[in-house]
Structure 1
Amino acid sequence: MAEPNKFGDVASPQQEEQKLSYLQKLWRFRHYLVVEPILVLYLSVAYWNSIATRNFPLEKACRVNLHFNVPTCIAILDKGNYGIDCDPFEAQLQNVTIQGPTPEELLVDVASPLFNFTVCKAEVQAQKLDADVNGIRSPIGAIFPLIILIFAGGWADKFNKRKPGMIIPIVGEVLQNICQLISAIYFDTISFEFGSYAEVIVPSLFGNTTLFVMSAYSYMTITTPEEDRVFRFGIFSMVVTGLSFVGLLSGSLLTLIGYRNCFILSLVSQILAILYIVFFIKEPKPQTKAKVEPTATAPHTQNQAVDNLAYETTNLDEVPVNKNFQLNPQLTPPRVEPPPVPIRRNLCKELFDPTLLKQLIYFPFAKRENNDRFILLMLILAYFFTVIAPVTEDTYQYLFALKKLGWNGEDYSVYGSVGGGLAVLGTFIGTTIFSKILKISDSIIGMWSSVFITASHFVFAFSINSWMFYLGNVFDMFASLRVIPIKSIGSTIVADDELSKMFSFFGICEPIAGFIFAPIYSLIYTSTIDSFPGAFFLFSNIFIAPNILVFIVIYIAMRRRPVKDNSMELAQKNGQENSGRDNEITHL
């Protein structure tokens, strides 16, 4: 509660906020941090299981589909440990087809002179097979989240329900891990396509991580004041990127407990995440903006009875009195119509209501004040350009590290953890220093991020050794900032009852990007795997670099947008202008 000062005035919330130190402000944020435990239980699985989920399809493709022997298939995942260099065999491996081993290659062992060539051949064939399947499964897996997100945002806004959007994707991950566990138990019987397709398609049937992130951002936006949303989103992003440190354990964990136990551990963690949401997350109440209306009082009552001690002056509105009350001669109570009973419909009809689709399509084109419609369309374009690379690059970046740099799973897990630490640092600099302390606009932060991501992809593409790849990671430290400014700006120009529609529209961009560009990335990688495997990084820059111009346009549009006073500032302004004049006299 605000305390009065020596003059009897009450300190405003803004003044109290300014008195708090940075650590005190951070401590106050603990009440908002209810979503982060879900991240630890749900998304951390992707990091400690990262090497298992990447190596599993490659090893199965090599052993089950291509029929190479076990030593060869183990060696393709750790060429550096075996001292294998594939550069001398590049000419022989040009335009190699997926045909499996020859009878001689089938019998080779580590001591055989043909072993190195066989490993390089098996690696190329397994990676091509994996890339081909990835090019097919990604568009299929993008269709279902697209359909769900079209309706989920409007449904969440209509019924003010965010918890289902966080629970349903985790259920999909549980089922996906069950499929992977079955594939691991029957390793030599079930082909790699079963686990590979299940890994993408089963979670997509339940909205995938995109639905979870949309619901989480919608939940945080409603439960966080507008002036703290950038900082709040930054904390969320830092936790997500900070979880990558768990990836340090992924290689050792796979070596220690194997594929089966990795998938069992994931199942336990995801079930705990579901229980946490059910019992500890409460549905948020939508924030209503207070409307401050000037009170009109008659001139002759302004100073009436000011010297009478039986009266006091307050700022309370006069309680309206019904002067037209009339008793009914028959003394019968007035007839009151009962409120209409809402029509109950089943969940499928409510979720897939065609009006929700109509509202979502109309949402970005609806007429808005000032130039907000143009800004929203630019934000959607920026988000689409932003998510193309993250949605499609990840698989091929790991294959690039195995093929070009000769890394193994542990090498890549260390690299991922270093990248996560740098991303946490970059997010902290962007949200805390740039946004919270220096008050730099969100659009400039978006420009800053796009410039560094563009530079990092040039370094990645031409990396020929480990230190160059790590240098690209340094330039990529602001990658986590690429979506925070977009969502922060959008939350300021969209009404609270449209937030889920906005985040749903942003979420739709991800499956659309996967549907369109996953086959293109697959084709680029399989076509350049022997000559220039980093070509897909340069292809990503075709979309990342123009984002710089998009953020410049957004910056100009936001500068031309008139600044609106919030309700608290408006109340203070009215209080200063009307002090001593709009006070109403009430009887003790």
Structure 2
Amino acid sequence: MGYIKLGIEFPVFLIFFALMLGAPVNMNFIIYRTCYVIMSYNETDCAKLGINTTDNATNELEKEVEPIANYINMTMDLVTLIIPCILCIFVGAWSDKKGRRPILILTLTGFALSNVIKVAVAAIPNLNPWFLFLQCIPTLLSGGLPTFIMISFCYLIDITNAQNRGLRLGIMEGILGLGMLAGTFLSAKIFALIGYTGVFIICTSLSILALLITFCFLNETVEIRQDEDCKFFSLHNLKEMSRTTFKKRQGYNRLILLVCICSIIFYVMAENNSGTESLLLRSKFHWDLQKLTTYSTIRSVIAIFGGFLGIFILHTVLRVPELPLIITALLFCAVNTFMVAFAEYDWQIYVAVSLRIMSAVVSPMVRSLLSKIIPHAEIGQIFAFGISLESLIAMTAGPMYTIIYTNSINVFPGAFDLIPFSLHIINLLLFIFIVILKRTSNTIVYLDIREDQAETPAPIN
């Protein structure tokens, strides 16, 4: 049994399916429990929040409850990102020497235990929503989503080569998006049938299945040297990771490496506004949970189709290089966020989301470009450094968007979307600079990731 029969994509699909199946319901659960447990409103009225927005009284009640619920949700988001970001830094260097599989099993165990706690909290009536903090503990101790994403990409890069890496990364992003699409699309429907506890039980089952697949089918991809001492929490690992990230490389490869890391950080920060965007759509356009999940489904479908078009058709079949695809995608993303910021009607939101057709291209193409200029032995360290920074930025981005939205809701509700618009423009300029640099110099090179520094470099495409 190995990754050829059942690969890393399966656990990734199941985990993101579970995350997106539970995310809208989890937020609704916090609003519901905040309403009748903390604020002592009638439970029947509280149960309508996010489900029935045609009632003016319900809309007014949601405006009162939402700030407290947002605070609870924001605090949990912050807590579940800080420690995992720190752990992710150490995990990268450790996994380069001791293997990816133990970390995969650890993070998936954390997800499963976290969902079990959600089931328990939802099953106990009148329990304060702050008790959901208990589900953060397994995530904190196991590395959480930042570590899972980092180790999954490292695992995939271990089993690919320079010829098929871009395609496999695109497939990974597509499967990730498919999991999010399925979860988002089914979330409201399953919730209407079986309620909060039922949804959380399904999420638990999906997490356990992902854990079992990883344990039974995924082989180790790193050649482990038993005689090599590698402590998990080591200052030497931190120094080595910093040295590896910033050391001088052939030609302009160090500059490209840093631009890639910065661009992914900016992109993640820009894309981390979906929660605040949901608040905008609920408040300004009076969308309920069903309409929000429909919109999210359309958004995901467009991204998956665009990923297939950009990565398989343009990049793999037509051999379009990474840089032109990245620049085109960033331009589309910038126009999308600008339109959402100033939208006044529902149809404008749907026109804007159609421009996200190339959004799924950015991350795999940047990671593909990045993986081609660094040797195999440094993959874990570089990805750990980048994803830790991404997660830290995401941790601050969510609250930042919420604060901007809260303070501008009565004047310019879409003001928060001008931040991701600006970030996409900055990324666009960074990659245009790389294109100009490439055209004026022949010293930018690719390395074969499987051959470390020994591979003869070739000019960049």
Q: TM-score, normalised by structure 2?
A: 0.90
**Could you say which residue in structure 2 is the equivalent of 1:163?**
101
- Return the offset for 1:343: 7.3
**Could you say which residue in structure 1 is the equivalent of 2:218?**
281
Residue of structure 2 aligned with 1:516, choices 396, 408, 414: 396
The amino acid that maps onto 1:175 is L
- Return the offset for 1:139: 3.2
CA RMSD after TM alignment: 2.6
2:150 paired with 1:214: yes
Residues 410, 126 of structure 1: CA spacing in aligned structure 2 closer, same or farther, 3 A cutoff? same
Residues 386, 342 of structure 1: CA spacing in aligned structure 2 closer, same or farther, 3 A cutoff? same
Residue of structure 1 aligned with 2:123, choices 167, 185, 188: 185
**Could you say which residue in structure 1 is the equivalent of 2:171?**
235
**Could you say which residue in structure 1 is the equivalent of 2:69?**
130
Residue of structure 1 aligned with 2:415, choices 535, 538, 550: 535
- Return the offset for 1:437: 2.3
The amino acid that maps onto 1:130 is A
- Contact 1:248–1:414, Cα closer than 8 Å, also in 2: yes
Distance 1:418 1:199 in 2: 30
- Contact 2:51–2:289, Cα closer than 8 Å, also in 1: yes
Query: Secondary structure of the equivalent of 1:370?
Result: coil
- Return the offset for 1:200: 5.4
Residues 394, 207 of structure 1: CA spacing in aligned structure 2 closer, same or farther, 3 A cutoff? farther
2:367 paired with 1:487: yes
Distance 2:255 2:295 in 1: 40
Residues 130, 437 of structure 1: CA spacing in aligned structure 2 closer, same or farther, 3 A cutoff? same
2:250 paired with 1:369: yes
Residues 164-200 of structure 1 deviation map (CA, whole Å, 9 limit, x = unaligned): 2322222222222122222212231x222222x4565
Q: Extract unaligned runs of 5+ from structure 2.
A: 457-461
Query: Secondary structure of the equivalent of 1:493?
Result: coil
Residues 207-260 of structure 1 deviation map (CA, whole Å, 9 limit, x = unaligned): 222211111111111111111111111111111112203422211100111111
Which 4+ stretches in 1 moved above 6 angstroms? 564-568
Distance 2:240 2:14 in 1: 34
Distance 1:200 1:462 in 2: 36
Query: Secondary structure of the equivalent of 1:385?
Result: helix
**Could you say which residue in structure 2 is the equivalent of 1:352?**
233
**Could you say which residue in structure 2 is the equivalent of 1:271?**
208
- Contact 1:132–1:522, Cα closer than 8 Å, also in 2: no
Distance 2:447 2:416 in 1: 47
**Could you say which residue in structure 1 is the equivalent of 2:162?**
226
**Could you say which residue in structure 2 is the equivalent of 1:257?**
194
Residues 247-290 of structure 1 deviation map (CA, whole Å, 9 limit, x = unaligned): 2221110011111111111111111111111110001156xxxx
Residues 476, 565 of structure 1: CA spacing in aligned structure 2 closer, same or farther, 3 A cutoff? closer
**Could you say which residue in structure 2 is the equivalent of 1:94?**
none
The amino acid that maps onto 2:255 is F
Distance 2:408 2:434 in 1: 37
Residues 67-110 of structure 1 deviation map (CA, whole Å, 9 limit, x = unaligned): 22134323331344xx33xxxxxxxxxxxxxxxxxxxxxxxxxx
Residue of structure 1 aligned with 2:433, choices 510, 534, 553: 553
Matching of residues 64-143 of structure 1 within 5 Å: 64-80=37-53, 83-84=54-55, 116=56, 118-143=57-82
When you count helix as a share of all residues, which structure comes out higher?
A: 2
- Return the offset for 1:564: 6.2
Aligned-pair identity (%): 25
Residues 280-307 of structure 1 deviation map (CA, whole Å, 9 limit, x = unaligned): 0001156xxxxxxxxxxxxxxxxxxxxx
Distance 2:149 2:438 in 1: 26
2:112 paired with 1:174: yes
The amino acid that maps onto 1:169 is T
2:20 paired with 1:47: yes
- Return the offset for 1:202: 4.7
- Contact 1:442–1:489, Cα closer than 8 Å, also in 2: yes
**Could you say which residue in structure 1 is the equivalent of 2:278?**
398
**Could you say which residue in structure 1 is the equivalent of 2:332?**
452
The amino acid that maps onto 1:229 is R
Residue of structure 1 aligned with 2:319, choices 439, 444, 462: 439
How many aligned positions are there? 446
Distance 1:514 1:137 in 2: 13
Q: Extract unaligned runs of 5+ from structure 1.
A: 1-29, 85-115, 287-339, 574-588
Distance 1:517 1:255 in 2: 31
- Return the offset for 1:350: 1.5
The amino acid that maps onto 1:522 is T
- Return the offset for 1:462: 2.3
- Return the offset for 1:119: 2.4
The amino acid that maps onto 1:209 is L
Residue of structure 2 aligned with 1:417, choices 287, 297, 310: 297
- Contact 1:152–1:351, Cα closer than 8 Å, also in 2: yes
- Contact 1:375–1:557, Cα closer than 8 Å, also in 2: no
Query: Secondary structure of the equivalent of 2:47?
Result: helix
Residues 39, 343 of structure 1: CA spacing in aligned structure 2 closer, same or farther, 3 A cutoff? closer
- Contact 1:435–1:441, Cα closer than 8 Å, also in 2: yes
Distance 1:276 1:341 in 2: 26
The amino acid that maps onto 1:192 is P
Residues 564, 423 of structure 1: CA spacing in aligned structure 2 closer, same or farther, 3 A cutoff? closer
- Return the offset for 1:426: 0.7
Distance 2:178 2:321 in 1: 25
The amino acid that maps onto 1:357 is L
Query: Secondary structure of the equivalent of 2:239?
Result: helix
Residue of structure 2 aligned with 1:59, choices 25, 32, 39: 32
Residues 279, 372 of structure 1: CA spacing in aligned structure 2 closer, same or farther, 3 A cutoff? same
Distance 1:540 1:565 in 2: 32
- Return the offset for 1:518: 3.2
424-433 vs 179-188, which deviates more? 179-188
